[in-house]
């Protein structure tokens, strides 16, 4: 048991350079929230729903992190800071990192029957602060969800999702193979190249439009000149 705890605390230190020791990690609200959830989930599986909810509410009061007792969570799960909500049917794999103010939310079934309505987060996923992952979707292994992204569709393995509504963006291979990217987003702007291409396209279109306008003005002037010449010939 102590070996597993030490391994978990070390996995947190690998992803967060702030703590100076395992003892400091033990004070993290995300660590406490996970501990409360392990107990609440055990009670939930035993169909002791009231006790499971009581433990859940106690953990939420102390940590500002709300993890439904029914959620399934794998090894080395780390919530960096708090104010995170994880729904009942959410499934989280191993070595997943979530930053503050993230919601793993569910859809409201029209038939009133709960079922699977929260996302499945596969191994080694990183979800940036403020992101909202909604519905019974699948977030593939090693995917990165950027800060404040809103994800409502399946995420391919290794994809980086950004924006509202979130869209996938290509990242350099050296970024993709890194074991851990803080906040799920590379330090360099992953859309810098695409934005440059977009600006080039706009500038090209503006240049072409100006050229067309100049040609139209020349044609109009030429046409007006011919009309004047024609009228002069008629008058004479």
Q: What is the pLDDT of residue 222?
A: 84
Q: How far is CA 97 from the centre of its chain?
A: 11
Domain identity same for 196 and 182: no
Distance of CA 113 to the CA centre of its chain: 28
- Helix/strand/coil for 167: strand
At 203 the pLDDT is 79
161 touches 168 (CB < 8 A) = yes
Q: In the structure, what pLDDT confidence band is assigned to residue 12 with cuts at 50, 70 and 90?
A: very high
- What is the separation of C-alpha 197 from the centre of its chain, rounded to a whole number of angstroms? 24
What is the rounded average pLDDT for all residues in the chain?
Answer: 86
| Inter-residue contact 99 to 81 (CB < 8 Å) | yes
CATH of the domain at 157: 2.160.10.10
Q: Per residue in 78-101, pLDDT tens?
A: 999 889 999 999 999 999 999 999
Query: Same structural domain for residues 169 and 214?
Result: no
- 125's CB contacts (< 8 A; 6+ apart) are 93, 96, 97, 139, 140, 141, 142, 143, 144, 145
Same domain (yes/no): 74, 61: yes
pLDDT tens for residues 15-74?
A: 998 999 999 999 999 999 999 999 999 999 999 999 999 999 999 999 999 999 999 999
Strand locations in the chain, DSSP E? 66-67, 72-73, 78-79, 85-86, 91-92, 97-98, 103-105, 120-121, 126-127, 132-134, 138-139, 144-145, 150-151, 160-162, 167-169
Count: domains in the chain:
2
144 and 227, same domain (yes or no): no
**Could you say which of 167, 187, 207 is where a domain stops?**
187
* Per-residue 3-state assignment (H helix, E strand, C coil) for 63-124: HCCEECCCCEECCCCEECCCCCEECCCCEECCCCEECCCCEEECCCCCCCCCCCCCCEECCC
Say which range, 16-25, 138-147, 203-212, has the weakest mean pLDDT. Answer: 203-212
Non-local CB neighbours of 199 within 8 Å, separated by 6+ positions:
none
The answer to which of 71-85, 119-133, 184-198 has the lowest mean pLDDT is: 184-198
Answer yes or no: do 20 and 45 share one domain.
yes
Do 73 and 168 fall into the same domain? yes
Q: What pLDDT does residue 225 have?
A: 77
For residue 174, give both structure tokens: 């050296």
Which residues form the domain of 195?
191-236
If asked whether residues 155 and 197 sit together in one domain, one would say no
- Give the Cα separation of 197 and 212 in Å (integer): 22
């Amino acid at each position: 048991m102590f070996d597993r705890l030490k391994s978990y605390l070390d996995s947190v230190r690998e992803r967060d350079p702030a703590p100076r020791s395992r003892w400091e990690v033990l004070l993290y609200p995300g660590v406490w929230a996970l501990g409360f959830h392990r107990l609440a989930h055990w009670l939930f599986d035993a169909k002791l729903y009231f006790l499971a909810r009581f433990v859940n509410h106690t953990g939420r009061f102390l940590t500002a992190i709300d993890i439904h007792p029914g959620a399934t969570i794998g090894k080395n799960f780390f919530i960096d800071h708090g104010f995170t909500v994880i729904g009942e049917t959410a499934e989280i794999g191993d070595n997943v990192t979530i930053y503050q103010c993230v919601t793993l939310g569910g859809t409201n079934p029209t038939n009133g029957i709960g079922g699977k309505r929260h996302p499945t987060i596969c191994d080694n996923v990183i979800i940036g602060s403020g992101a909202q992952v909604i519905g019974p979707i699948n977030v593939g292994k090693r995917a990165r969800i950027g800060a404040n992204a809103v994800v409502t569709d399946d995420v391919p393995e290794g994809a980086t999702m950004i924006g509202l509504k979130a869209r996938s963006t290509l990242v350099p291979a050296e970024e993709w193979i890194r074991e851990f990217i803080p906040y799920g987003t590379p330090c360099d702007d992953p859309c810098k190249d695409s934005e440059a291409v977009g600006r080039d396209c706009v500038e090209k279109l503006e240049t072409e439009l100006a050229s067309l306008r100049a040609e139209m003005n020349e044609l109009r002037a030429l046409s007006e000149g011919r009309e004047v010449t024609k009228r002069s010939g008629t008058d004479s």
